[in-house]
Structure 1
Amino acid sequence: MVKAKDIVIVFMLFSFQTIISQSIEILGKVQSNSGVENIHVINKTAQIFTITNEKGEFKIKVTLNDSLVFSSIQHKLKEVVISNENISNRAILVKLEEQINELEEVIVGKVLTGDLLKDIANVEGDPPINFYDVGIPGYKGKIATQSERRLSEAGEFKPKMLLGVLTGGIPLNPILNGISGRTKILKNRVEVETKEALMNTVKAKLSKDFFASNPLDEDLRMDFFYFCADDEHFVKYCKNKTDFEILIFLKSKYKQYTENLNSEKD
């Protein structure tokens, strides 16, 4: 006959197993001698992610034995497995080690001897001169691409330009380029180049962390980023946005991309 005590023990074990198998949100904190903001925290098991705030704090859902990966440019990659203690306390403290990139010593140019007269005699060429040296204003903004320069030179036709007929000052370039379709072609070219440049920036910056929690074959990854860039909202959601906002966009496109792959296989 089963005793009441045994039933209670079994019930407690079952309840405990149910609790630890459920997903809970834990509060985490990252400690480091370097900056602790914008560190990527990836739950590899659940395939979810978040980013630390300026204090190194974050919140993420986990279950027992989930693997959390901490990644940033200035720190060494670290993986932590969620323990019973983390589940009980609903908290985790992670110390990251700074990533130090040591470069081999490289000697550029001539070696100085310490003798001023000899060193001056060994100097070749004249020092470069910029607009600060001669006291004239200079352009310090973003350098335009070739397509952007061509679009600027082509101009854009506006109906009010036709008023120039009355004054004899019609700008021919914008009108001719508008009629021929050249302005539209140049606009499309600038848009494509802008998208491609942004796509390559996102890929270089976030692909490692993104694919750590969203697996995809190596030969499909470039195709995935082109798929993202084809989205009409790609620039809106990725230009001048935080890593977290971009990762959310990539996650939504990843779901669409994998669904397309599965439908093609079927």
Structure 2
Amino acid sequence: MSNKKIYFLLLCALASSLLSAQQKLLQGKITNETEVDGIHILNTSSRYNTVTNENGHFSIQVKLLDTLIFSSIKYNPEKMVITETIYEKGVVTIALTELVNELDDVYIAPNLSGNIVADLKRIKTEKPIDFDDVGIPGFKGKPEEKIVPLYLTITPLSVDIEALYKHISGYYKGLKTRRKWEYENNAVAKLLNYYTLSFFTTTYGIAENSVYDFLLFCAETSTIESDFKKEHFGSVLLILNDKAKIYKNRSSKENQE
């Protein structure tokens, strides 16, 4: 194989790699005729998520080969892989299959006693209904560890040795910090998904590779998380305007040093 052909193949591989790492905003529409609002769309690769509006339209940040999951109570869950064609067009339409829930066969025990509680215990179904059966996302992991307040570790009747040790060792303090970081990271992801990367670079002059750090700064020093959650978008923009000036001034001083 000639050197020119090798260089050409390497350039193609590099271009493909760069393309797959680049995010873009995908515009989409659910084409079903009824009940197309409030359908959840989750990007399982980036964890970005959004919901459709009353017309079935949505937008979400994607990269090549990301996987989107569509779910709602009325429709069966659907998966879509972002192919090169979808990525290049930047637009997609999808029709969801309506969910038809059928009850499992119920076997009624003979000689019912008339006691409702006792008779219900004797009724058997093939299997219990899970949230996956009706297309609703649900929590499958372990329940979040409860942090026992320090004043409850020692009572007149008992001593919670494990909880007391976790306070003394700093375990609970570290756990609170990790949860705070996770909460802030989720808030930043939602802000990025809602406003898009170009909004922050164009409107506030924040460097593209600094946008995430800028939003973390906003989350740590303001009420932007709760304001965004409550859809107080006016307050969110005021915070962004104020914090952008502080952040850029701080970054400028750091560069001078």
TM over 0.5: no
Higher relative contact order (CA 8 A, sep 6+): 1
- TM-score under structure 1 normalisation? 0.40
Higher Cα radius of gyration: 1
- TM-score under structure 2 normalisation? 0.42
